[in-house]
Amino acid sequence: MGQNGYLCPWVEKEYGGAGLGLEYSFIVTDEMAYAGVHGLMAGLHSDIVAPYIHTFGNEEQKKKWLPSSISGEIILAVAMTEPDAGSDLSSIRTTAVKEGENYIINGEKIYISNGILSNLVVVACKTETGHESPYKDVSLICVEDTSPGFFRGRNLEKAGWHSQDTGELIFRDCQVSVSNLLGDEGKGFYYMMEKLQQERLVSAIMSQASAEATFDMTLDYCKQRKGLKKIEIPIDTNGIAEMATDIEMGRTFLNSLIYDHIHGEDIIKRVSMAKWWTSDMANRIISQCMELYRDYGYLEDHKVGRFFRDARAHPIYAGTNEIMKRIIGKKLGI
Amino acid sequence: MDFHLTTEQRDIQKAASEFAKGEFDPDAALDYDMRQQFPLTIWKKACELGFIGVYFPEEYGGQELDLLENALIVEAFCRQDSGVGMALALSDFGSEMIVRNGNVDQKKKILPFIAQGKGIVTSAFLEEGYFFAPFATYAKISNNGCMINGMKSFVTLGSIADYIIVVCQTGLDTPHAQTVILLERETDGIEVSSMGEKVGMRMIPVDQVVFVNVRVPAENIVGQEDTGYSQLQNFFNEMRIKTSAMGIGIAQGGLDKALEYSKKRVQFGKPIASFDAIRNKLADMHIDVEMARLIAYKAAWSFDTGKPDSRAILMSKMIASKTAYRTTYDAVQIFGGYGYMAEGHIEHFYRDAKVLDLFLEPGQIQRSMLADHILGRVSGE
């Protein structure tokens, strides 16, 4: 993908990118999800982690990491979640203490996508404690996989996304140069909040694409069966029409969000709506499509089963759907 | 009207639940799921304690209990673990046809064999093409016995079953002329091959069974010749009840786990069970499970009174399978990231639950059958 320019195409040419708009990157993510390919988590690499370096990194950091991210020489990950800090990011416990020219990082991260294969991880750490607002203690530090004291834990077994690794990261007196700090100390939480808008948009794109892919192949299958006069079960035209309507509505909403996001608008409320609605919609549609395949849909030979297992992740990561509704509530003033 | 279970029924429920809690180790269950293996040791123990084939007559190793009691056992098993529960519940798949329609010799041969855990029985009916009739698998019945040719798909436990009860077409002109035949799996001409990996229900192999000139004596015919269609319909009615029991068990199991987890998982300084988003979800799950259970017990009860309520039985299967799916979907959600990981011990409930929508016949067919029931004949059809 790197060789062909599919990674981070939105980065300026001076860093090795194609200098294109973000929409080109979203198209790649969309097509990968439509094909059911979750390996490498290219969308995470290109559209979620690289932007942290691009936006908050200094010139030296950008020159150091962006070209190899674009060429595919290094794989990126971002580590926020901890065993006791899932939805509640402010309660992270991983600490980074400054000692001379280094930060000494101690802690554990869990459910990290690309955790096992990554070469550079943006890690959310507490650089200070004791602020009245815990949000002011968090900083983002880039940890290279060669750093002393950086260990990988288990590659976790999960319901789906089997071509992608979800791992544990362990930091034991992990030494990282202070020059690896992204942006300013204590602003990590705000940086994450800023970038989560795009992460949620990417998640919604993936959900939408998986619903479309499943629907399209199911429709083909139904037509084919009808053609062969092998109608062992009645084809539920009503249900199919309803699914097509849901998909059309999701796509229309998503397109308007992509447009506004690219034009720099605040879409936090609406992207939270899209993230929860699209991910639940995708699961609903895939579950319904599976029934149209009769028992065959339950076999792994048929792609629909894999989409079924894979889609269940969308309502959970990048902020659970319950957190999305909490954000919407806050934005509505309740 | 009385909504209480009898003392005996409560005792059975308690015994099944204690057995499941004691024997279905969560890590072992996960291991069976991952290795796609039938839980043979647990099944043997369940047989020893008399949990399999409880509705068989006493003289054939059963306890002559009703379908409701069997449903209580299946529910308790699936509640503890969806995978192990389903595997045990389906280990006597099709024996119903022997109990209801078999002759004394067949009962003597098959029923104690199952109840004592000596072997596994399954039945084969599904084919590519039409759902019930006519089947392409054909049995030629003559003075020399039966000769079977054809292929059945989605035969649960096909590769490990000792006996296969197969429903064959015996009349070419009458779609409903079908005959049920009991076969030993080792009979010449039977070829069993796996249909591959599945999304869930992974402890139960699902196979394709090919019959090439399979010859068995006429004494292997279950019930009368050409009565297979109605035998299969009655079997489906019983199985819909059992499937409902699996569904409410899986749903209740998902709810149990979600309740427990939500009370101990702390975020934002308090247990997540204190947030409305979670509380409301749990309340909705509880409503769904309770409703599904009411109709499932009603369906089982109607069968046990000797007047099976076909509408209740159809509704029960549809409601239970939807409830199992929805409840486990929500349970995974309450577990968050942990819910998607195998070690959370909840994602396999979700994968397993989905099969119930497809099992026996998909919801769409059942909906159409229910519509037939409530509409009667509509002019212009």
Calculated CA dihedral for residues A186, A187, A190, A194, nearest 10 degrees: -150
Size of interface A-B (CB pairs under 8 A): 124
SS3 track for A258-321: HHHHHCCCCCHHHHHHHHHHHHHHHHHHHHHHHHHCHHHHHECCCHHHHHHHHHCCCCCCCCCH
Q: What is the CATH number of domain A77-184?
A: 2.40.110.10
For residue A158, the SS3 value is strand
Q: Same domain for B105 and B159? A: no
Res. A295 pLDDT band, cuts 50 70 90 = confident
How much is the ipTM here? 0.94
Q: What is the pLDDT of residue B130?
A: 67
Q: Same domain for B75 and B130? A: no
Q: What is the pLDDT of residue A172?
A: 98
Calculated CA dihedral for residues B208, B212, B215, B218, nearest 10 degrees: 60
Domain count, chain B: 3
B215 forms bridges with which residues in the sheet? B147
Q: Does residue B1 belong to any structural domain of this protein?
A: no
To the nearest whole Å, the CA of A215 is away from the closest chain B CA by: 17
How high does pLDDT run on average in chain B?
Answer: 95
pLDDT at residue A231 tops 90: no
Q: Does residue B64 belong to any structural domain of this protein?
A: yes
CATH of residue B153's domain is: 2.40.110.10
Query: How confident is the model over B203-243, as pLDDT tens digits?
Result: 999 999 999 999 999 999 999 999 999 999 999 999 999 99
Q: Same domain for B247 and B327? A: yes
Average pLDDT of the residues in A254-259: 98
Among B227, B254, B284, where does a domain finish? Answer: B227
Task: Judge: A298–B129 Cβ closer than 8 Å, yes or no.
Answer: no
Q: What is the pLDDT of residue B132?
A: 73
pLDDT at residue B88 tops 90: yes
Give B266's contacts in chain A (Cβ within 8 Å): 84
- All structural domains of chain A with their residue ranges: 13-74, 77-184, 190-331
- Model-level pTM? 0.95
Q: Which residue has the higher pLDDT, A294 or B265?
A: B265
Among B174, B196, B227, where does a domain finish? Answer: B227
Helix axes B67-80, B228-264, angle to 10 degrees: 40
Task: Judge: B329–A312 Cβ closer than 8 Å, yes or no.
Answer: yes
Q: What is the pLDDT of residue A227?
A: 64
Q: Class of A190-331 per CATH?
A: mainly alpha
CA distance B156 to B121: 10
For residue A115, the SS3 value is coil
Query: How confident is the model over B186-203, as pLDDT tens digits?
Result: 999 999 999 999 999 999
Average pLDDT of the residues in B51-71: 96
Residue A84, token pair as written in the block = 């006791």
Is the omega angle on the peptide bond into residue A148 within 30 degrees of 0, that is, cis?
A: no
Task: Give the rounded percent of residues in chain B with a pLDDT score beyond 70.
Answer: 98
Q: Does residue B220 belong to any structural domain of this protein?
A: yes
For residue B317, the enclosing domain spans 230-375
Q: What is the pLDDT of residue B172?
A: 87
Q: Does residue B38 belong to any structural domain of this protein?
A: yes
Contacts (Cβ under 8 Å, ≥6 apart) of A6: A28, A42, A46
Query: How confident is the model over B274-284, as pLDDT tens digits?
Result: 999 999 999 99
To the nearest whole Å, the CA of B268 is away from the closest chain A CA by: 6
Q: Same domain for B140 and B205? A: yes
Q: Same domain for B80 and B23? A: yes
Pick the CATH number of A13-74 from 3.40.50.450, 1.10.540.10, 3.40.50.2300, 2.60.120.380: 1.10.540.10
Q: Same domain for B193 and B237? A: no
CA distance A223 to B265: 47
Give A299's contacts in chain B (Cβ within 8 Å): 195-199, 206
pLDDT at residue B379 tops 70: no
Task: Judge: B199–A305 Cβ closer than 8 Å, yes or no.
Answer: yes
Task: Judge: B340–A299 Cβ closer than 8 Å, yes or no.
Answer: no
Residues recorded for chain A? 334
Q: Same domain for B334 and B298? A: yes
Res. A233 pLDDT band, cuts 50 70 90 = low
Query: How confident is the model over A180-216, as pLDDT tens digits?
Result: 999 999 999 999 999 999 999 999 999 999 999 999 9
Q: What is the pLDDT of residue A222?
A: 87
Average pLDDT of the residues in B140-166: 96
pLDDT at residue B80 tops 90: yes
> To which residue do tokens 């879409």 refer?
A267
Q: What is the pLDDT of residue B199?
A: 96
pLDDT at residue B343 tops 60: yes
CA distance A31 to A56: 28
Q: Does residue B215 belong to any structural domain of this protein?
A: yes
Res. A65 pLDDT band, cuts 50 70 90 = very high
pLDDT at residue A229 tops 70: no
Q: Same domain for B248 and B298? A: yes
To the nearest whole Å, the CA of B326 is away from the closest chain A CA by: 10
pLDDT at residue A30 tops 90: yes
Q: Same domain for B282 and B260? A: yes
Q: Does residue B178 belong to any structural domain of this protein?
A: yes
A122 forms bridges with which residues in the sheet? A78, A142
Q: Which of A86, A230, A236 sits opposite B267 (nearest CB)?
A: A86
Res. A42 pLDDT band, cuts 50 70 90 = confident
CATH of residue B99's domain is: 1.10.540.10
Give A110's contacts in chain B (Cβ within 8 Å): 337
pLDDT at residue B376 tops 70: yes
Residue A199 annotated as catalytic: yes
Among B227, B257, B273, where does a domain finish? Answer: B227
Task: Judge: A287–B325 Cβ closer than 8 Å, yes or no.
Answer: yes
Q: What is the pLDDT of residue B380?
A: 55
Q: What is the pLDDT of residue B365?
A: 84
Q: Same domain for B109 and B19? A: yes
Contacts (Cβ under 8 Å, ≥6 apart) of A294: A232, A233, B358, B362
Q: Is B4 exposed, middle or buried (0-12, 13-18, 19+ CB in 10 A)?
A: exposed
Q: Which residue has the higher pLDDT, B377 or B153?
A: B153
Q: Same domain for B57 and B111? A: yes
Q: What is the pLDDT of residue A232?
A: 57
Q: Does residue B381 belong to any structural domain of this protein?
A: no
Average pLDDT of the residues in A237-243: 93
> How does DSSP classify residue B132?
S
CATH of residue B258's domain is: 1.20.140.10
